[in-house]
């Protein structure tokens, strides 16, 4: 086992994918010599050359448009968007072209591309650098949307995404880039499907459902709750589209209570979809309404006050208390 940060695990996963798949290439702004804003691609251009790790012009629309052509011709491009808020110039290509082409051509044309997006807040960044746009993509048929929360998942999930024949939006929780964990880089293949959820901590009193940056926060909340005799189960969704509905439903049927946690705004966020599915399948098992702990319905605030915007232990534990007493 090797101890890596999430950023270094992504780097190692990309390196292994580039070595294993000659048609894979990386493409993005400042990802070559600089290694990207967060240094996730550091050293890869020196190892694989400027034709495999390409420094692109400053044009997100052009980035994704180029990737469409590359993927249609059999390449496996991995496009980096520097920050979450910069993806919108490429939104038309993503939802109008990338998501539809395989369906439009009855499967004759596949687009095996990966769009890497660092997302979420908590790093004291300026406007357009701390957003959580996942619901836009999960709402779009034809796109697969995944997000890692640990170095182990970062290492394997990026390789699985590159190997997938469908377009994958790969969301990287930037506030967790420096979190450390053990990774078995000698293992031959991933032990978990890219589209399966994972029970991080078993429990019996209520289920916390989270993904990306909020998984660690929910685990911390569960540890605090345990000191008060409350046994919380924590689920890391890992995949937002498709959703591993079976794992969610089985957990809530056991615990009878569910709290969904995410950084993105509340209205029409992932929590709303998850709550609806739980109500459909677990109505007679629920002991309390499904609750949501989310960002607020307003533009991401200035960095000085972002901690008041982001879900934290207090807000999560308050929701747990309301669920247990409901």
* Residues taking part in catalysis: 129
Report cis status (omega within 30 of 0) of the bond before 242.
yes
β-bridge pairing 180-183 and 144-147? unpaired
Nearest to 175 by CA among 124, 237, 218, 127: 124
CB-based contact 259:293 (threshold 8 Å): yes
Backbone angles phi, psi at 10, to 5 degrees: -60, -40
Query: Within 10 A of 52 (CB to CB), how many other CB atoms are there?
Result: 17
* Residue 244 CB coordination number (10 Å): 18
Let me know the angle formed at the C-alpha of 8 by 6 and 11, rounded to the nearest 5 degrees: 110
Which of 247, 249, 253, 251 is CA-nearest to residue 203? 251
For residue 273, what are its two tokens? 């979809």
- Name the CA radius of gyration of the chain, rounded: 19
Q: Contact 244/195 with Cβ under 8 angstroms?
A: yes
Distances (CA, A) of 91 to 2, 64, 88, 241: 37, 9, 5, 17
Q: Give 164's DSSP letter.
A: -
* Helices and strands, counts by H and E, the chain: 12, 14
């Amino acid at each position: 086992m090797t101890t890596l940060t999430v950023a270094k695990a992504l780097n190692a996963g990309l390196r292994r994918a580039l070595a294993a798949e000659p048609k894979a290439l990386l493409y993005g702004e400042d990802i070559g010599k600089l290694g990207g804003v967060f240094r996730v691609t550091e050293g890869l251009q020196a190892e694989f050359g400027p034709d495999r790790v390409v420094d692109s012009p400053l044009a997100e629309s052009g980035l994704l448009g180029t990737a469409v052509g590359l993927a249609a011709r059999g390449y496996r491009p991995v496009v980096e968007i520097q920050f979450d808020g910069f993806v919108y110039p490429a939104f038309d290509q993503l939802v109008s072209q990338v998501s539809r082409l395989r369906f439009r051509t009855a499967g004759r044309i596949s687009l095996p591309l990966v769009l890497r997006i660092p997302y979420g807040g908590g790093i004291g960044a300026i406007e357009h650098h701390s957003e959580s746009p996942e619901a836009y993509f999960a709402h779009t048929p034809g796109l697969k949307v995944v997000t890692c929360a640990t170095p182990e998942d970062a290492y394997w999930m990026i390789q699985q995404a590159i190997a997938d024949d469908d377009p994958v939006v790969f969301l990287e929780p930037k506030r967790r880039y420096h979190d450390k964990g053990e990774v078995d880089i000698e293992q031959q293949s991933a032990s978990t499907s890219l589209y399966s959820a994972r029970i991080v901590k078993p429990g019996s009193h209520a289920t916390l459902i989270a993904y990306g940056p909020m998984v660690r926060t929910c685990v911390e909340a569960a540890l605090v709750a345990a000191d008060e005799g409350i046994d919380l189960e924590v689920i890391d969704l890992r995949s937002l589209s498709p959703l591993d509905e079976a794992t969610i439903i089985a957990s809530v049927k056991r615990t009878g209570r569910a709290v969904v946690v995410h950084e993105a705004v509340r209205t029409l966020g992932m929590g709303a979809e998850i709550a609806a599915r739980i109500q459909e399948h677990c109505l007679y098992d629920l002991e309390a309404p499904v609750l949501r702990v989310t960002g607020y319905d307003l533009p991401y605030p200035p960095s000085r006050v972002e901690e008041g915007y982001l879900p934290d232990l207090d807000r999560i534990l308050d929701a747990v208390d309301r669920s247990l007493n409901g």
